[in-house]
Amino acid sequence: MTILLLFFEFFQAGLFAVGGGLATLPFILKMMEKYPEWFGTLQLADITAIAESTPGPIGVNAATFAGYSAAGVPGAITATFAVILPSFIIISLIARALQKYRDSRLVCDVFAGLRPAVTGLIAAACWSVMRSAFIAGTLSDGFFQMFSWKGVALFAVLFTLLQLPKTKDVHPIFYILAGAAAGILLGL
């Protein structure tokens, strides 16, 4: 029974959470109020923290986590598939239509406007990751203490390496692993 409810609730979250992973969190918050027994002592903050720091889509990670705490491994699998099913169905339909109308003048005009705007959206996402990586305290700690200077320095080094002709083609996976190693060594 719990499995069915989990499927229903996460299917709904997948269907109505527009705008990416973090948009699923309000739905999980609502589930916490509706079915407190699913989550035990678990807080939304735990779900967010695990979802953001494990690899993978945040909405999927959050669903797996919540599903597991509600009903173990079957719950985790149910919640995960329920959350991705609506987008899978919708995108499958859109992809087919897109292939058909790709070269039409209207579609080209729309995308000519979308590409620069989405570049701006990605820049905004980058900005928010940078803020969470660089800001270590609040202004009341003092202006200098507010920032994680080791983080800023590491960013400067990695970003420079990503521009240099010799190192810019190193695989992104290597940069991620280097970031983890530097984090441990520097005690970020």
- CA 177, CA 183: separation in Å to the nearest integer? 10
Q: For other proteins, which stretch binds (CB under 8 A), given 1-9, 31-39, 83-91, 138-146?
A: 83-91
Q: Which of 103, 95, 155 has its CA nearest to residue 129?
A: 155
Q: How far is CA 92 from each of CA 24, 64, 99, 105, 107, rounded to the nearest angstrom?
A: 21, 23, 11, 23, 18
- 97 sits near other proteins (criterion: CB under 8 A): no
6 versus 83: smaller Cβ distance to other proteins? 83
Query: Contacts with other proteins in 114-173 (CB under 8 A)?
Result: 114-130, 132-133, 148, 151, 154-155, 158-159, 162-163, 168, 171-173
Of positions 36, 43, 90, 101, contacts other proteins by CB under 8 A: 90
CB of 1 to other proteins, least distance (A): 22
Of positions 3, 32, 77, 146, contacts other proteins by CB under 8 A: 77
36 versus 120: smaller Cβ distance to other proteins? 120
Apex CA 24: angle with CA 4 and CA 129, to 5°? 150
- CA 180, CA 57: separation in Å to the nearest integer? 19
